[in-house]
Amino acid sequence: MFSSIKWKFIIIYFLLVLMAMVIVGIFIVQRFETQQLENRTNTMVKQVETLLNTFSDLSEDDWLELSDEIQNSLNEWRFSGFSGTETLYVIYDADIPRIVASSHVNYENITGQNALSYKSLDPTLILSAYDGERSDRVKQDANENTVLKHLAYPVFNKVGQVKGILYITDDLKDVYKTIDDTKTILINATLLALSITVILGFLIASSITEPIRDVTKKAEKMAKGDFDQFVEVKSNDEMGQLASMFNYLTLKLKDTIHEMDLEKSKLDTIFNYMADGVIAVDTNGYIIHANPVAVDILELENIPEKGFLSQNLLPMKKINLEKIDYEDSDTLEGDQIAKINNSIYQVKYAPFRNEKDDVGGVIIVFQDITEQHKLDNMRKEFVANVSHELKTPITTIKSYTETLMGYGDIDRELSHKFLTVIDDECDRMNRIVKDLLQLSNLDYNKTKWNMAECSIKRLIEDICFKLDFSVREKNHNLNLNIEDDLPNIVIDRDGIEQVILNIISNAIKYTPNNGEINISAKRQNNNIVITVNDNGIGIPEEDKKRIFERFYRVDKGRSRELGGTGLGLSIAKQIVEAHGGNIILRSKYNVGTEVIIVLPIDNRQL
């Protein structure tokens, strides 16, 4: 309770006023006491001087002889009541200072006593009076009940020598009573002032501490997350400014927290829906955060109570994190490729800092690069394939050319044969380059489609006519089954002709002599479906899924022998897809193959 500002305030106020009152009180009482005693001394001196002037006996030089007269005068003085509380002793020095008369009631016992040894008088005052000095002193009475003022007044004879002393004592009871009354008044005033101080201090302190308490209470609520706190601004003073600053702070804080919430929710959404896996690992190796993708990658479903110790996780073992040394900043950043569960990941890590700006751990990002890896491999394979495909004819051309150049007397028939081979290989290279260029154009959408209405029936018949020689050569049985009322279709005639020609010629090529080839075309909903099937060698199961890849051939040697480049089906697929269609290949090894081309009838939007 007393630790509150209010009580501190009151106690300080109280002590200040108390100290001020005590200091002022002591000063006043001291001054008052001194003043009173001085007044009393002056009165006593005046009294003595009046007596000296009044009693003619005292003007005589030999007081010892006149002691009875002086005593009588003193008795008169005492009885007249002028003496008040004062007692006068007349001291005359014959051989020793002797009391010759006194206004004391027991003057008879006192008269004749040695003044220096008389207990009611102060010898030092008597001695200094004999030295000609008037002196006074406040003394406790011998019976110790009263305080008396003693004054020794030297009286000089005609030649200026001290002839005797008038020693007067006066009771100071009334003086000290007045001083005590003054003290009581001052104590009462102090108590009143202190009470008023406590009440005023309480009111002033409350006016300061109440708004502070209000602000504190609201700040406490804010700390618990309730930011709808407003303090009433009651004045324009420092407290009012504090209240309005508090309100401003609340608003600012609310805005900032709102912004932070928004940012956090954005980050949470990014974190949860990003395609990459992200985990945060603390310096002890525990996974403290993981987004859903990372949970999948690292199979983190069954979370142990203490959290995951990353080193214990099988997929994490594939990432070489041992080299991370939290003391060495150079090791805290890096990337590597890791194979986890049949997927390839690019794993990048970088440190994050905690609130003390120390390294709190590392953030690890898993980027699935399986597809990219596959594409990379395909690209490398493609380059190798192209080089290989071109190398074979180039080697052939080179060797035949060298042979021709080396033998000048080679006969005409042999040289013709050689030149025919060179010509064939050139044709082959030309075909490969042409196909590659076409693929490249298709890849970069550079192919100019010449879309026009066209009869599929007519197109297939033209193609069959072109291939008639090959069909006859292999003695195939070619059946055409084309619906009569097939609608015209909008296509790039040359492109689709290339597709169908490639598929039918494949059927001819990869079907042993005397084979059966059926070509059909029909309407199915808004599509024309062209089917080419044969009872040829078929395609083994494991090759089927790769058959549309560039340069992919089941039997490379055979295909090459038959003049194939391995690019036909991939070109066909791209052309059909560019027409908004689809191409499907079904095949059974040693049974036969069926290729289905689906083309939308209306392709005008291309």
Which of 395, 337, 338, 328 lies closest to 362, judged by CA?
Answer: 328
DSSP letter (8 states) at residue 148: E
Binding ligand ADP by CB under 6 A: which of 393, 536, 581, 600?
536
**CB closer to ligand ADP, 16 vs 384:** 384
What track of x and - describes contact with ligand ADP for positions 476 through 495 (by CB under 6 A)? --------------------
What track of x and - describes contact with ligand ADP for positions 220 through 249 (by CB under 6 A)? ------------------------------
**429 is a site residue for ligand ADP (CB under 6 A):** no
Beta-sheet pairing, 97-102 with 86-93: antiparallel
**565 is a site residue for ligand ADP (CB under 6 A):** yes
**Beta-ladder partners of 593:** 534, 587
**569 is a site residue for ligand ADP (CB under 6 A):** yes
Q: Which residues of 392-430 are buried (b: 16+ CB within 10 A; e: fewer)?
A: ebeebbeebeeeeeeeeeeeeeeeeebeeebeebeebbe
Least distance (Å) from ligand ADP to the CB of residue 455?
A: 25
**500 is a site residue for ligand ADP (CB under 6 A):** no
**CB closer to ligand ADP, 104 vs 573:** 573
Which span sits near ligand ADP by CB under 6 A: 63-71, 230-238, 299-307, 499-507? 499-507
Residue 349, classed as helix, strand or coil, is: strand
The residue behind tokens 């005023």 is 200
Which span sits near ligand ADP by CB under 6 A: 53-61, 341-349, 471-479, 534-542? 534-542
Say if CB 592 and CB 518 are below 8 A apart: no
What track of x and - describes contact with ligand ADP for positions 576 through 605 (by CB under 6 A)? -----------------x------------
Least distance (Å) from ligand ADP to the CB of residue 523?
A: 24
Residue 37, classed as helix, strand or coil, is: helix
Q: Name residues contacting ligand ADP, limited to 64-93 (CB under 6 A).
A: none
Binding ligand ADP by CB under 6 A: which of 566, 574, 581, 599?
566
**CB closer to ligand ADP, 138 vs 433:** 433
What HEC string does 542-604 produce? HHHCCCCCCCCCCCHHHHHHCCCCCCHHHHHHHHHHHCCCEEEEEEECCCEEEEEEEEECCCC
**CB closer to ligand ADP, 566 vs 581:** 566
**502 is a site residue for ligand ADP (CB under 6 A):** yes
Which span sits near ligand ADP by CB under 6 A: 17-25, 113-121, 158-166, 552-560? 552-560
Least distance (Å) from ligand ADP to the CB of residue 334?
A: 43
Total of chain residues touching ligand ADP, rule CB under 6 A: 21
Can you read off the two tokens belonging to residue 391? 């190398």
CA-based R_g, the chain, Å: 66
Least distance (Å) from ligand ADP to the CB of residue 270?
A: 43
CA 436, CA 417: separation in Å to the nearest integer?
Answer: 29
CB atoms within 10 A of CB 179: 17
**291 is a site residue for ligand ADP (CB under 6 A):** no
Say if CB 114 and CB 97 are below 8 A apart: yes
Burial environment of residue 383 by CB neighbours within 10 A (0 to 12, 13 to 18, 19 or more): exposed
**564 is a site residue for ligand ADP (CB under 6 A):** yes
**506 is a site residue for ligand ADP (CB under 6 A):** yes
Can you read off the two tokens belonging to residue 222? 């804010």
**559 is a site residue for ligand ADP (CB under 6 A):** yes
**Beta-ladder partners of 309:** 286
Least distance (Å) from ligand ADP to the CB of residue 457?
A: 22
CA 537, CA 545: separation in Å to the nearest integer?
Answer: 17
**553 is a site residue for ligand ADP (CB under 6 A):** yes
**CB closer to ligand ADP, 495 vs 536:** 536
Least distance (Å) from ligand ADP to the CB of residue 567?
A: 6
**CB closer to ligand ADP, 530 vs 539:** 539
CA 300, CA 280: separation in Å to the nearest integer?
Answer: 13
Integer CA distances (angstroms), 76 to 212, 218, 493, in order: 80, 89, 168
DSSP E strand boundaries for 392-484 = 451-454, 477-482
Least distance (Å) from ligand ADP to the CB of residue 548?
A: 8
CA 287, CA 301: separation in Å to the nearest integer?
Answer: 13
CA 535, CA 541: separation in Å to the nearest integer?
Answer: 16
Least distance (Å) from ligand ADP to the CB of residue 268?
A: 49
**510 is a site residue for ligand ADP (CB under 6 A):** yes
DSSP letter (8 states) at residue 114: B
**547 is a site residue for ligand ADP (CB under 6 A):** yes
CA 422, CA 314: separation in Å to the nearest integer?
Answer: 59
Which span sits near ligand ADP by CB under 6 A: 45-53, 344-352, 366-374, 535-543? 535-543
Least distance (Å) from ligand ADP to the CB of residue 349?
A: 44
DSSP, residue by residue, 154-183: EEE-TTS-EEEEEEEEEE-HHHHHHHHHHH
**507 is a site residue for ligand ADP (CB under 6 A):** yes
Binding ligand ADP by CB under 6 A: which of 534, 573, 597, 598?
534
Binding ligand ADP by CB under 6 A: which of 315, 361, 393, 568?
568
Q: Write phi, then psi, for 238 (nearest 5 degrees).
A: -60, -40
**554 is a site residue for ligand ADP (CB under 6 A):** yes
Least distance (Å) from ligand ADP to the CB of residue 591?
A: 10
Least distance (Å) from ligand ADP to the CB of residue 420?
A: 21
Least distance (Å) from ligand ADP to the CB of residue 407?
A: 35
**CB closer to ligand ADP, 491 vs 572:** 572
**CB closer to ligand ADP, 13 vs 510:** 510
Q: Which residues contact 21 (CB under 8 A, 6 or more apart)?
A: 186, 189, 190, 193, 194
Which span sits near ligand ADP by CB under 6 A: 195-203, 245-253, 469-477, 554-562? 554-562
Angle of CA points 181, 186, 191, to nearest 5°? 125
Can you give the binding site for ligand ADP, defined by CB under 6 A?
502, 506-507, 510, 534, 536-539, 547, 553-555, 559, 564-569, 593
